[in-house]
Amino acid sequence: MSIRDEEKKYEGLSPFELKNKLIEMASSHHERMMLNAGRGNPNWVATIPRYAFFLLGNFALEEARRVLSRPGIAGAPDSKGIGPRLLDFCKRHSEHLGSQLLEDSYKYATETLKLDGDSFVSEMVDGILGDHYPVPDRMLKNCEKIVRAYIDDTMFACSPPKGTMDFFAVEGGTAAMTYIFNTLKENFLINPGDTIAIGTPIFTPYLEIPTLNDYQLKVVDVMLDEDKDWQYPDSELEKLKDPSVKAFFLVNPSNPSSTSVAQASLDKIAEIVNTCRKDLIILTDDVYGTFVNGFKSLAAIAPKNTILVYSFSKYFGATGWRLGVIGLCQDNVLDKMIAALPADKRGGMHRRYESITTDPDGLKLIDRLVADSRAVALNHTAGLSTPQQVMMALFSFQELLDSDSRLYRKEAQDIIRERYESLYRAMGVEAPERPCYAMYYTTIDIHQLAEKRFGADFAAWMSSEHEPIDFVWNLADKKGVVLMDGGGFAAPAMSVRVSLANLFKKDYEKIGQAVSELLCDYHAEWKQSSK
């Protein structure tokens, strides 16, 4: 089998599966070190919330021993007076990193969020011990208020929408995506044969899930324009006016192009929703929002139509914690759309949920998500583990308490900017400066780079004589560098996605050199073939 035939065999795979083949090839040359900038797992961790978490665990065990102390066994802590005891504990352990965050979090919770001190600390202590099922199963009451404050602070450019948003704590953005697709289907908000719009390029699962037999959806691409700083042209957003388009799914800031939706496009979407498409469902995955200063989610401009997904994984270096939330305004069009469904469909849903509530017809979509996440019958054991929710709250507190200086945010943004600039400097091209740029990833259009470096004839030859994945294939095989195939994200053919999160600055210099060297290798091949 020729290399080109082998490449064709792999072109149908998800880029995340193709990556495994690239890693295999890059690892086969033991004389060199493989550099894998394929996945977006950050190689930093937020330290202070973790120090606070482990210190809180010690306090929780101290409290548990106050109630019952037998060899290897303690009791469930008593909530009465537990707030002042936490403050006393922090003073006794003031030399420990994390004690100040615990003390400041207590003050913020009680003074700014107006939470009862004993109730707040009791929930955190019981949560970190993990000795009860999550109650409420959707999200612990105080943790939800804390995360709501965090989302208001980070996702809405300091102007959160009016009304209250409910949150469902889930196992990261992956679980959120899975639960939402399933519940929209189970509640007849999307049906086989329906059309949805997807903002492309996009995280590959959003391209792959809709066409599965589970959903059988038709897809319309709403395409970002590479030549307009990866923004949506008005002509693409006009597609949302079509009443056959049931929903619009996007990642914001985008993946792999890493730009957030500009204000002009937000205004355009708001205009469409407020005039001709009041029934449009919007699903926005905002995991990278904290990497853009002044970020504004679509939930800010179309709150009644939007399901918001946020994950703590990338910003806080916590992919292994599996921390995410689904947010939905209490006053939303989705609940109204369910109530307006035909009687036969409402009857089926009544039977589906009647074992968990005396009012199945009035069950809100956010609570249907919870029930569906546990096949309804196991609704009573639903919910994210309580230690995970405590960690989520502590991550939230770090940002809320740092809202003036944003020191952590500046550090995280500086890390990826240094890597970004190092990569492009090594490629010998100017690093693009784009508004609304998260910079967590960068998409390199190899065809454009080839034309810029060596001319249009050479770029055309590369496209005609080589498979779209040939560049990432050879980059792995010949240079030991693993990048993601941009085409698998619906980005331009023969583009590559570079994660700027998981390697160090010097590694991105080597990756930039490898990209440049491989392009020169292609150019030499072209010159030879032209003789």
Cα separation, 121 vs 135, in Å, equals: 15
User: Which of 164, 156, 160 lies closest to 263, judged by CA?
Assistant: 156
Cα of first residue to Cα of last residue in the chain, in angstroms, is: 27
Handedness of CA 362, 365, 367, 369 (dihedral sign): positive
Enumerate the domain spans of the chain: 3-32+407-530, 47-132, 142-389
Instruction: Give ∠ CA 383-385-391 in degrees, rounded to 5.
Output: 120
Output the pLDDT for position 24: 79
Question: Side chain identity at 530, as an amino acid letter?
Answer: S
Say what the pLDDT of residue 25 is: 72
> Domain 47-132 falls in which CATH fold?
Histone, subunit A (1.10.20)
> What pLDDT, on a 0 to 100 scale, did the predictor assign at position 10?
65
Q: How far is CA 412 from CA 311, 500, 504, in A?
A: 16, 11, 13
pLDDT value of position 2: 66
Nearest alpha carbon to residue 427 among 364, 367, 510, 361? 510
The answer for 170, left when phi > 0, alpha when psi is -120 to 50, beta otherwise, is beta
pLDDT per 10-residue tile (average), the chain, 531 residues: 65 72 70 78 97 98 96 96 98 97 98 98 98 96 98 93 95 95 97 97 92 95 96 98 98 96 97 97 98 97 98 97 98 98 96 96 98 96 97 98 93 97 95 94 96 95 92 92 92 94 96 96 91 69
**pLDDT value for 9:** 67
Query: Based on C-alpha coordinates, what's the Rg of the chain?
Result: 25
CATH topology assigned to domain 142-389: Aspartate Aminotransferase; domain 2 (3.40.640)
Q: What is the pTM of this model?
A: 0.94
State the pLDDT at residue 3. Answer: 67
pLDDT at 14: 72
Q: Is the peptide bond before 432 cis (omega within 30 degrees of 0)?
A: no
- Distance separating alpha carbons of residues 495 and 362, to the nearest angstrom: 48
Q: Which residue has the tokens 């991550």?
A: 395
pLDDT of the residue at 32: 61
pLDDT given for residue 6 in this prediction: 66
Cis before 49 (ω within 30): no
**What are the C-alpha distances in Å from 485 to residues 38, 78, 113, 386?**
9, 55, 45, 38
Closest CA to 486 of 501, 506, 471, 503: 471
Angle at 309 between CA 419 and CA 287, to 5 degrees: 5
| Bridge partners, 251 (sequence order) | 285
When the candidates are 3.40.50.1970, 3.40.50.620, 3.30.1300.10, 3.90.1150.10, the CATH number that belongs to 3-32+407-530 is 3.90.1150.10
Nearest by Cα to 426 from 416, 418, 434, 415: 418
